[in-house]
Amino acid sequence: MTAPAATMPADAVLSVRGLAVDFATRRRTVRAVSEVAFDLRPGRTLGLVGESGSGKSVTSLALMRLLAQPAGRIGAGSILLRTPDGVLDLARLPEPAMRRVRGRRVAMVFQEPMTSLNPMLPIGEQIAEVARLHLGRGRADAARDAVALLDRVGIPAAASRAQSYPHELSGGMRQRAMIAIALACRPSVMIADEPTTALDVTIQAQVLTLIRELQDETRMAVLFITHNLGVVAEVADEVAVMYGGQFVETGMVAEVLARPAHPYTRALLESLPPAIGSAVPLRRRLHAIPGSVVDLAAPPPGCRFGPRCERHVAACDAAPVALDPLAPGRAVRCIRARETA
Amino acid sequence: MLRAVLQRLGGVLVVMLLVATTVFVISRVIPGDPAGVMLGSVATPEDIARLRRELGLDQPLLTQYFAFLGQVVRLDLGTSMFIGQPVTTAMLERAPLTLSLCVLATVMSVIVGLPLGILAGVWRGSLVDRAATLLALGGASLPSFWIGLILIRFLAAGLGWFPISGWGEPDAAFAERLHHLVLPAIVLALPNAVLLLRTTRAGMIEVMSQDYVRTARAKGLGPWAVVVKHALRNTLLPLVTVIGLTVAMLIGRTIVAETVFGLPGLGNLVIGGVLRRDYPVIQGVLMAISGIYVLINLAIDLLYMRLDPRLRGKIA
């Protein structure tokens, strides 16, 4: 299934275009994610930021075609993946072929290392089964590979740890084991869905460093999902800010964090506590965004952030707002973005 | 692990002592003199007094109690005057039939309940699920004796596929014995299959939404590996419990099946014993059923430790 190559930049390994995800409830269908488009490049990290319910995780599950069945489905768009066998459109790939992509070409690290590992299987086996499945490795070889991977992700005494069950490992160790599972087949894309959210801050830093190192070694592209702008600043090259199921701002991380063009991005940055030692007085009152997340079952006719926006004007509600390319590699979904630019 | 096993075995001994004590107390507090009951209304007071002496009923209660415990330890459960046999011998003679019946019923209930439960749980709301739920409802609401009679009426008397009752000639071959046991085993298996189906379904529904099942899918595993290797393994604990308890209950439920199908098993012995107030038989069977119950629970505990790595090495 070869897709038109024109829609995929030559240097990208994964290109998403016009992605929409629908969830069917008993009465109607809700479009949880719409108009999502981005490219992932080898060795680069795209940070996907947004608050709970903004559609980050739904987007990542759609890429893996792991949306909750039978309610969720991809409503529109394409997910082009470059593989040695040509370009595949994951949005249209039959399920058996999709299974050869999962874990082999695109691997995923989930948020909760406590619950994402199978409590009844030793972690070595949970790593080895991926290599046996996709790479056709024998039992002994795969087990040896698993130990090497555990060692690589920084688990001490890897050979004996491979026999351990998840409950015998700490949270940080479990997340390292999850990363080892994801790495087992040297995928070209790794999706990390809030991989450090459940961990202590010091362990968080170690895991982020590990992902960075592994990425430099394997040249894999990383889609890093988080609600934490601090983490984005640390790991990502580019960032996409999501609100109400849509990208509201995209660009290089340094650029977006230094000069946010969308009022939502700005509000997110203002609601961060200031770093110790920064120029901002520590006792400044934290900024909170008024109102609550948009109801996707009945989105407002105009800008989805409009009702909560400080810079809201009547024109904002007139029609849906398109993503406006301000500069190469930079886009904003705000009709007033150019006023301030 | 060994320490845990020994500790559990110690627990079993304590429970069995309590059971023996309870059996003893009950046999002494129920109204009526056992000797009088055994000899019937025509017995003379002299006869009764002689039997009381023979049975040791004229001794102090504590002496009787320890004598009883001594008998139990030696597996001597007394002699029934009605059947003219030691109770242990009578039970051992009838045990093979009842145990075969229980094994066959359990195998049937697992073969039917487990796969249907898995399918219904994985494909929740599908046609399979609805059919399984309907079967479960029927199986749970129809009484065993009625199902037994219906099976006899249609499959045995009507179509002649199975014998109507009995256990065949004393020297019958294994296959013929099995043939006699099919219908009673179905009667026993049905409620167990239903319970197992429901437990499996509920367990699968819960487990299929767990994060580690999503992880298994994200690895690219096919539906078979996801369900059997990753999901089913995590539902095994409640299933082992249910299977164990239903087996334990089977021992009691065989009474109905053996009566309906005229099988000379333990259940038959119990019914006879109760109707005749044959105390040694009732006591013996009570002890045996309690023992089996306790042993099955022990087996469940040990299986738990074997199956769940989180319980290994822990002594609860």
Calculate how close chain B gets to A279, using CA atoms only, in Å. Answer: 42
Q: Taking CB atoms and an 8 Å limit, are A117 and B230 in contact across chains? A: no
CATH number of the domain that A330 lies in?
A: 3.40.50.300
A120 lies in which domain range?
A: 115-186
Contact A190, A107 (CB under 8 A): yes
Q: What's the structural domain count of chain A?
A: 2
The structure tokens 């991005």 sit at A265
CA distance B13 to A308: 70
Is pLDDT at B70 greater than 50 in this prediction? yes
**Percent of chain A at pLDDT above 70?**
94
Calculate how close chain B gets to A102, using CA atoms only, in Å. Answer: 5
In chain B, the residue whose alpha carbon lies closest to the alpha carbon of A118 is B212
pLDDT band at A15; cut points 50, 70, 90: very high
Calculate how close chain B gets to A338, using CA atoms only, in Å. Answer: 42
**A309 φ/ψ angles, rounded to the nearest 5 degrees:** -90, 140
Is there a domain that residue B135 lies in? yes
**pTM of the predicted protein model:** 0.79
Do A101 and A125 lie in a common domain?
A: no
Q: What's the structural domain count of chain B?
A: 1
Do A36 and A134 lie in a common domain?
A: no
Is there a domain that residue B70 lies in? no
CA B262 to chain centroid, in Å, comes to: 19
A64 touches chain B (CB under 8 A): yes
Which region among B91-95, B157-161, B237-241 has the lowest average model confidence (pLDDT)? Answer: B157-161
Secondary structure letter of residue A298 according to DSSP:
S
Mean pLDDT taken over chain B? 83
pLDDT digits (tens, 9 = 90+) for A75-96: 888 999 998 888 889 888 899 9
Mutate to test the interface with B, among A83, A120, A165, A194 (most CBs of B within 10 A): A120
pLDDT digits (tens, 9 = 90+) for B170-196: 677 777 777 788 888 888 888 889 999
The structure tokens 């072929």 sit at A97
B130 touches chain A (CB under 8 A): no
Q: Taking CB atoms and an 8 Å limit, are A117 and B212 in contact across chains? A: yes
Is there a domain that residue A154 lies in? yes
Q: B20 is written with which tokens?
A: 């023996």
pLDDT digits (tens, 9 = 90+) for A224-235: 998 888 888 888
- pLDDT of B254: 84
Angle, CA B25 vertex, CA B20 and CA B29 arms, to 5°: 155
Do A215 and A194 lie in a common domain?
A: yes
Q: Taking CB atoms and an 8 Å limit, are A110 and B230 in contact across chains? A: no
pLDDT digits (tens, 9 = 90+) for A288-300: 777 777 888 888 8
Query: Pseudo-torsion of CA A200, A204, A210, A211, nearest 10°?
Result: 130
Q: A34 is written with which tokens?
A: 């719409």
B259 lies in which domain range?
A: 95-269
pLDDT digits (tens, 9 = 90+) for B125-174: 888 889 888 888 888 788 877 887 787 777 777 777 777 777 776 677 77
- pLDDT of A14: 92
Do A142 and A180 lie in a common domain?
A: yes
Sign of CA dihedral B4, B8, B14, B18: positive
In chain B, the residue whose alpha carbon lies closest to the alpha carbon of A182 is B219
A117 touches chain B (CB under 8 A): yes
Residues A265-274: what's their mean pLDDT? 80
pLDDT digits (tens, 9 = 90+) for A238-256: 999 999 889 999 999 988 8
**Percent of chain B at pLDDT above 90?**
13
Do A96 and A162 lie in a common domain?
A: no
Chain A hits for B233, CB-CB cut-off 8 Å, are 118, 120-121
Contact B109, B223 (CB under 8 A): no
Is there a domain that residue B205 lies in? yes
Secondary structure letter of residue A184 according to DSSP:
T
Cα B165 to Cα B88, B161, B176: the distances in Å are 26, 12, 12
Is pLDDT at B79 greater than 90 in this prediction? no
Calculate how close chain B gets to A103, using CA atoms only, in Å. Answer: 4
Cα Rg of chain A (Å, integer): 21
CATH number of the domain that B134 lies in?
A: 1.10.3720.10
pLDDT digits (tens, 9 = 90+) for B253-268: 888 888 888 888 888 8
Query: Which residue in B215, B220, B221 is closest to A117 by CB distance?
Result: B215
Is there a domain that residue B85 lies in? no
Bridge-based pairing of strands A221-226 and A189-193 is parallel
Q: Given A164, A186, A208, which residue is the final one in a domain? A: A186
Do A166 and A308 lie in a common domain?
A: no
Is there a domain that residue B139 lies in? yes
pLDDT band at A5; cut points 50, 70, 90: very low
Closest among A324, A326, B253 to A334, alpha carbons compared: A324
Residues A181-199: what's their mean pLDDT? 87
Query: Which residue in A102, A117, A121 is closest to B220 by CB distance?
Result: A102
pLDDT band at A210; cut points 50, 70, 90: confident
- B185 or A281, which is more confident? B185
- pLDDT of A6: 47
Do A200 and A163 lie in a common domain?
A: no
Q: Given A186, A218, A245, which residue is the final one in a domain? A: A186
Is pLDDT at A37 greater than 60 in this prediction? yes
CA distance A146 to A162: 7
Q: Taking CB atoms and an 8 Å limit, are B218 and A103 in contact across chains? A: yes
Do A194 and A94 lie in a common domain?
A: yes
Is pLDDT at A206 greater than 80 in this prediction? yes
The conformational region for residue A54 under phi > 0 = left, psi -120 to 50 = alpha, else beta, is alpha
Residues A322-330: what's their mean pLDDT? 84
Coil, strand or helix: which one is A285? coil
A178 touches chain B (CB under 8 A): yes
Is pLDDT at A275 greater than 70 in this prediction? no
- pLDDT of B248: 81
* Beta bridge partner(s), residue A189: A106, A221
Q: A134 is written with which tokens?
A: 């996709």
pLDDT band at B71; cut points 50, 70, 90: confident
CA distance A68 to B214: 10
Q: Given A186, A214, A235, which residue is the final one in a domain? A: A186
Contacts of B170 (CB under 8 A, 6+ apart): none
B126 touches chain A (CB under 8 A): no
Q: Taking CB atoms and an 8 Å limit, are A101 and B308 in contact across chains? A: no
- pLDDT of A274: 65
Q: Taking CB atoms and an 8 Å limit, are A118 and B212 in contact across chains? A: yes
CA distance A45 to B26: 77
pLDDT band at B316; cut points 50, 70, 90: very low
Contacts of A292 (CB under 8 A, 6+ apart): none
Environment class of B303 (CB within 10 Å of its CB; exposed 0-12, middle 13-18, buried 19+): middle
Coil, strand or helix: which one is A121? coil
Where helices occur in chain A by DSSP H, the ranges are: 56-64, 95-101, 113-116, 123-135, 139-152, 158-161, 171-183, 201-218, 229-235, 253-258, 263-270, 337-340
CA distance B209 to B219: 16
Q: Taking CB atoms and an 8 Å limit, are B220 and A64 in contact across chains? A: no
Q: B247 is written with which tokens?
A: 């087996």
Is there a domain that residue A110 lies in? no
In chain B, what is the greatest distance between 2 CA atoms, to the nearest angstrom? Answer: 85
CA B185 to chain centroid, in Å, comes to: 12
Bridge-based pairing of strands A246-252 and A86-89 is unpaired
Query: Which residue in B214, B215, B308 is closest to A120 by CB distance?
Result: B308
Contact A76, B186 (CB under 8 A): no
Q: Which of A205-219, B104-118, B150-164 has the highest mean pLDDT?
A: B104-118
Residues A186-210: what's their mean pLDDT? 85
A128 touches chain B (CB under 8 A): no
Is there a domain that residue B52 lies in? no
pLDDT band at A25; cut points 50, 70, 90: confident
